[in-house]
Structure 1
């Protein structure tokens, strides 16, 4: 790997960590390509921008299918805060900024919780044979740009490895090409990502590429396979990963019989708090199953199936300094509701 390529790798990693580092900015803003500037955006442009922002804020790729959202998309003007135009080398762009409180209200009314700006980071490892031989995919490759644009559309932070000597020893091109999961996981440890995408990019037609890959999320490894033009493949990969990472967090529509103990936890302000809480609950020996029941604002209710007693559950909670007991009550059917505050 030549010096310039290493420099680009270092620069991109530094930029990605500064901009993202698990934090997504401009959630309520979207940029659209336009043919010309107008005195004000059209309803079609505002509707398109609103739909894109709702996906970013909610983490739900199908939120625009909701009947309430469909109604709002027909009259999008009240959701728009301001707009502007910018000129780039490849043309004119319209920048739409939407009212955060209005957007959050729309998301909440459809039964989903806004994710907030703190989100899981995904580390990318890609090899390619587009140059005629198997090698690490170069950082100036259009595929990386397409992945970044797709990730921006979903509010998903990406990380890039340095591909320095340490990386090349830990994860050889050969291991990356065959998607050797143990080597990929070990090489990724230095970057401390929340999840990993590893894959190989190959050309299948003059206009089309294919990706065979692996999505690693904790102990769960899922195969990835997409083909099409670069933009289609990148968006499909990011959509699948984002849907997988965001789905357990955003949905609170009830889909199970109300059994077990309900635990209401306040002050869950971001995705990191949510993940730590759920990991804690799943790690308790007295808990056999954790079900997400409801999320309203910064308050989440989970329903716990127990292998022990409610008193054992309370004792386990008392050992967790981040959980402050607030109240406890009984529903009319006799089921318990425990109320706590997260001290994250």
Structure 2
């Protein structure tokens, strides 16, 4: 049996899942603070949780404005899978778990696709003068905790520097304070993030905070300037970043994207490599269909039908180590050909 026939045959096989880096857990779960425990959550509580879950799953902060979502919010019970109560220091909480298939269907009906668990990771560098002199913000600072809480509500993975001697030398707090973008980027390469937030945090006696910083993404520096209480500032920063990174993927049922983006992959040396490659591509939320075009030696060319843009495809692939981009070309008709090396 030649290679092409072998490849077609293994398409029918069930393949194992990858362990994906930068994955977000509990996408379909939300925790709400409560004043008192009830026998069952109220419709208002379920509706509130439903909105939060839809935002996490879709990446779209304004998804609740959609008319179909508004209709569902009036009768949210069928979306709820189970609930429970927990008591922690500081109060009680209601935990709502929603049916993933129902939530995904709701998101799709609004014209968008769920983003999936694989998300871009954002590295944080902050400096503060709260101690009287400029210093790196410590990982246990209340502002970092507020950022983590806000990021969890948007399904945005955050990354924190170790702040060991290597970090201290590469990026002193004074460089963060005056927003030296080149030094920030250089120090960040150690962590290989998808985007970076860096800034200075000042606190007032009235428990207000102010952030002046940069959001660095795809080589573009976007200024950040927020002030208010800690929760307000943390939410404003995270929402700004999440809205930029989570560009909605339009559902193919409601739009007409070009089809057939060619992906040429080198270093496919056996059937196991091929099976893993196809499985990897199919699991990308932006990919609707994977079609084999040709196999020559150790090189495979597949054609992908997308539910999004070429840039979203590149970003989704870049979040994983399995494929290394070698080149990106365009045919005479303007269609893209992306050339990758399989890393396994």
Scaled to the shorter chain, the TM-score interval is 0.7 to 0.9
Q: Which residue is equivalent to 1:191?
A: 191
On the 8 A contact 2:171/2:183 being kept in 1, the answer is yes
On the 8 A contact 2:146/2:231 being kept in 1, the answer is yes
Structure 1 residue matching 2:188: 3-state secondary structure? helix
Shift of 1:29: 0.1
Structure 1 residue matching 2:307: 3-state secondary structure? strand
CA distance in 2, matches of 1:203, 1:196: 22
Summarize deviations over 1:131-175 as a string: whole Å, max 9, x none: 222111111111010000000000000000000000000001111
Query: Does 2:187 match 1:180?
Result: no
On the 8 A contact 1:264/1:302 being kept in 2, the answer is no
Q: Which residue is equivalent to 1:141?
A: 141
Shift of 1:205: 4.9
On the 8 A contact 1:115/1:270 being kept in 2, the answer is no
Gap runs ≥5 in structure 1 = 1-19, 278-294, 323-343
Q: TM-score, normalised by structure 2?
A: 0.73
Query: Does 2:85 match 1:85?
Result: yes
Change (3 A) 1:313 1:209: closer
Shift of 1:187: 0.4
Q: Which residue is equivalent to 2:116?
A: 116
Runs ≥4 in structure 1, deviation > 3 angstroms? Answer: 251-256, 264-268, 301-304, 319-322
CA distance in 2, matches of 1:108, 1:125: 36
CA distance in 2, matches of 1:53, 1:159: 22
Q: Which residue is equivalent to 2:125?
A: 125
Change (3 A) 1:301 1:22: closer
Q: Which residue is equivalent to 2:307?
A: 300
Shift of 1:129: 1.1
Shift of 1:308: 5.7
Change (3 A) 1:264 1:101: farther
Summarize deviations over 1:297-344 as a string: whole Å, max 9, x none: x9425589x98633x848x46x6688xxxxxxxxxxxxxxxxxxxxx9
On the 8 A contact 1:268/1:300 being kept in 2, the answer is no
Summarize deviations over 1:191-215 as a string: whole Å, max 9, x none: 1100000010002451211000100
On the 8 A contact 2:108/2:251 being kept in 1, the answer is no
Q: Which residue is equivalent to 2:258?
A: 262
CA distance in 1, matches of 2:51, 2:335: 42
Structure 2 residue matching 1:86: 3-state secondary structure? strand
Structure 1 residue matching 2:199: 3-state secondary structure? strand
Q: Which residue is equivalent to 1:74?
A: 74
Relative to its length, the structure with more helix (as a share) is 1
Structure 2 residue matching 1:263: 3-state secondary structure? coil
Summarize deviations over 1:232-274 as a string: whole Å, max 9, x none: 0000000000000001x43459999x8xx92246955336x77
Q: Aligned pairs, how many?
A: 275
Q: Which residue is equivalent to 2:105?
A: 105
Aligned alpha-carbon RMSD (Å): 3.1
Gap runs ≥5 in structure 2 = 1-19, 262-277, 291-303, 312-328
CA distance in 2, matches of 1:48, 1:142: 25
Change (3 A) 1:301 1:93: closer
On the 8 A contact 1:60/1:250 being kept in 2, the answer is no
On the 8 A contact 1:28/1:53 being kept in 2, the answer is yes
Structure 2 residue matching 1:130: 3-state secondary structure? coil
On the 8 A contact 1:213/1:225 being kept in 2, the answer is yes
CA distance in 1, matches of 2:182, 2:34: 46
Shift of 1:186: 0.6
Q: TM-score, normalised by structure 1?
A: 0.73
CA distance in 1, matches of 2:38, 2:250: 38
Summarize deviations over 1:94-125 as a string: whole Å, max 9, x none: 00000000000000000111001010000000
